[in-house]
Chains A and B, each alone.
Chain A
Amino acid sequence: MNAESIEQLRAGNPRAVARAISAVERGGAPARDVIAAIFRYTGRAHVIGVTGAPGTGKSTLVNEIAKEYRRRGKRVGIVAVDPTSPFSGGAILGDRLRMQDLSGDSGVFIRSMATRGNLGGIAAATSDAVQVLDTAGYEIVLVETVGAGQNEVDIAKNTHTTIVVDAPGMGDDIQAIKAGILEIADLLIVNKADHDEVSATVAALEMNLNLKPKAENDWRPPVLKTIALQGDGVADVVDWIGKHRQYLVDHHQLEVRERARFRAELEMVVQNELMARLLRGVNESKVDSLVEKIATREMDVYQAAETLIGKEN
């Protein structure tokens, strides 16, 4: 990146922001170039992950949270991640559909991203896109993902405050005690609180939290009710995000979380890079012939992998 585009990005020029996100999304050299230029300017935004099952109202809620932050004078960046089809490589990115209230506001920048299916790539690309928005002066960055795969959960987890969205009728109390996305929540939200069975959903989540072994100074996630379509309960959510941030500051958790995130990112980048270097020397026809040998039981998968990358010393 040249000095002029860095300046434009820092000044929040939307074209510069959009282009920089495209570059980090592409990965490889273009991504490294952008991050090398901006990394020193990052670390100011409060990053909020929003995840949950499809249909719980995440995008509508993100729309309302962004509106509330705008009322409080904050500039808001949004990264909305939707899955890439494993068959065609294409994707429908529909989150903007629920965020139309935000259009025309230069204090909001919304970017849709597809997971693109490259190993670990989306987690890296999302983190880099957040850094671009951070550099451009967005004080609050919301990252929305479907809480379906490990990748998506990881993205939401690697933020300052993680919000898990649930809705009445999504499952019984056994669903709530299953391991999974509930465990990463700093705030639990039961959206669509005007529907029946909302108290049962809240009770199941509360019970799950009560059963969790407590450590001293632990943050206990609040269970909050919202009706995102009407904006009900959203100011409360934003207040709680503020309380959670204060907790992180008071207990020096911002530093701890940041170091944990950087460690995870470093490991991920090393893994991806090693994988890419190993696979560069492998040709497809060799893989095909190995698959054939596995199918005819001539070799097992471990032996085939060894022929590709060599034996571990």
Chain B
Amino acid sequence: MSDRPIRVLIAKPGLDGHDRGAKVVARALRDSGMEVIYTGIRQTPEMIAEAALQEDVDVVGLSILSGAHMDLFPRIVDLLKQKGIDDVVLVAGGIIPDEDMPAIKQMGFAGAFGPGTSTQDLAKFIRDEVARKRGATA
């Protein structure tokens, strides 16, 4: 069943309203053959976890530029776990300072992509990560 389209949730937690990056990513992933559920700005951790659950996604992509990632990301990761979602690929985007990277990885994120990332590289990264997860659960 590996040929079913990869389903990705793209959400912006927190209060910043800068969604150009998230929209560019959503469009690029669509163009590489993925189904992208786009939920937009100002999403609470609860909204994101609920959407990931109902939509049964393979990937959750979180874009944040406000600097609140160290507060919001752990909350989202916890809620996903509470809902029994332990097999999604977590990807961060936006402004994540290098010094936070070890903690982000520790939380279970597969990667973080800031400004200047090639969308092809991102799509390839996601495809590889999902293939690995699907291979592990098959």
- Set of chain B residues within 8 Å of A19, measured between Cβ atoms: 56
**Does B33 belong to the interface (CB within 8 Å)?**
yes
Min CB gap A295→B, angstroms: 28
Contact of B54 among A92, A110, A114 (CB under 8 A): A110
Min CB gap A146→B, angstroms: 16
In the complex, the 7 A-B pairs of residues with the closest C-beta atoms, listed nearest first: A90-B30, A18-B56, A89-B33, A103-B47, A22-B56, A90-B33, A93-B37
Contact of A21 among B30, B34, B56, B84 (CB under 8 A): B56
Q: State whether A15 touches B53 (Cβ < 8 A).
A: yes
Question: Closest residue of chain B to A13, judged by CB?
Answer: B84
**Looking at the complex, which of A66-74, A94-102, A252-260 is the stretch in contact with chain B?**
A94-102
Please, how many angstroms separate the alpha-carbon atoms of A264 and B32 in the complex?
34
**Does B110 belong to the interface (CB within 8 Å)?**
no
Q: State whether B83 touches A15 (Cβ < 8 A).
A: yes
**Does B112 belong to the interface (CB within 8 Å)?**
no
Please, how many angstroms separate the alpha-carbon atoms of A210 and B32 in the complex?
48
Q: State whether A90 touches B29 (Cβ < 8 A).
A: yes
**Does A245 belong to the interface (CB within 8 Å)?**
no
Q: State whether A90 touches B56 (Cβ < 8 A).
A: no
Q: Write out, one digit per residue, whether chain B residues 18-37 have a CB within 8 A of any chain A CB (1) or not (0).
A: 00000000110111111111
Contact of B35 among A14, A93, A96, A100 (CB under 8 A): A93
- Set of chain B residues within 8 Å of A100, measured between Cβ atoms: 39-40, 47
Please, how many angstroms separate the alpha-carbon atoms of A219 and B36 in the complex?
40
Are A93 and B54 also in contact (CB < 8 A) when A30-B1, A103-B46, A114-B5 are? Answer: no
Q: How large is the interface on A (under 10, 10 to 19, 20 to 34, 35 or more residues)?
A: 20 to 34
Interface residues of A in 19-56 (CB under 8 A from B): 19, 21-22, 25-26, 30
- Set of chain B residues within 8 Å of A22, measured between Cβ atoms: 56
**Does A109 belong to the interface (CB within 8 Å)?**
yes
- Set of chain A residues within 8 Å of B55, measured between Cβ atoms: 18, 96, 111-112
Are A18 and B33 also in contact (CB < 8 A) when A26-B4, A90-B5, A100-B47 are? Answer: no
Question: Closest residue of chain A to B38, judged by CB?
Answer: A94
List chain B positions with a Cβ less than 8 A from chain A. Answer: 1, 4-5, 26-27, 29-40, 44, 46-47, 50-51, 53-56, 83-85
List chain A positions with a Cβ less than 8 A from chain B. Answer: 14-15, 17-19, 21-22, 25-26, 30, 84-85, 88-94, 96-97, 100, 103-104, 109-112, 114, 116
- Set of chain A residues within 8 Å of B27, measured between Cβ atoms: 92
Question: Closest residue of chain A to B40, judged by CB?
Answer: A97
- Set of chain A residues within 8 Å of B44, measured between Cβ atoms: 103
Most buried by B among A96, A109, A110: A96
Q: State whether B30 touches A85 (Cβ < 8 A).
A: yes
Please, how many angstroms separate the alpha-carbon atoms of A67 and B110 in the complex?
37
Q: State whether A97 touches B1 (Cβ < 8 A).
A: no
